Amino acid sequence: AQSVAQPEDQVNVAEGNPLTVKCTYSVSGNPYLFWYVQYPNRGLQFLLKYITGDNLVKGSYGFEAEFNKSQTSFHLKKPSALVSDSALYFCAVVDYKLSFGAGTTVTVRA
């Protein structure tokens, strides 16, 4: 069975500081991994994905994620967080369907 885990319900950082949102995965084959963001009362928006190739993937709004096969992780990162990055972030994995983690609420304080 495929799954992703987001070990932190909430992440709080100050504006300008680095932001990391953690994700670990469990799949039987090669993982297709994704990050989505959800702003209040809005649908999910695609941020980035890892299919194959470079372990460091760059996405929208200055976000990037690092695929680490040995640690089965796909952490989302942003070097300098903005207040507008405050949202709910979901990691997801595709095997035969797209399955989401429980989400991490990110709060960036001014």
Partner 1 sequence: EAGVVQSPRYKIIEKKQPVAFWCNPISGHNTLYWYLQNLGQGPELLIRYENEEAVDDSQLPKDRFSAERLKGVDSTLKIQPAELGDSAVYLCASSGTGRSGGELFFGEGSRLTVL
Residues 28-87 that bind partner 1 (CB under 8 A): 32, 34, 36, 41-46, 49, 51
Binding of residue 102 to partner 1 (CB under 8 A) = yes
SS3 assignment, position 61: helix
Query: Cβ distance 26 to 33 under 8 Å?
Result: no
C-beta of 72: minimal distance to partner 1 in Å?
17
Applying CB under 8 A, among 74, 78, 90, 108 the residue interacting with partner 1 is 90
Nearest to 69 by CA among 30, 105, 97: 30
Tokens of 65: 């994620």
**Binding partner 1 by CB under 8 A: which of 64, 72, 77, 94?**
94
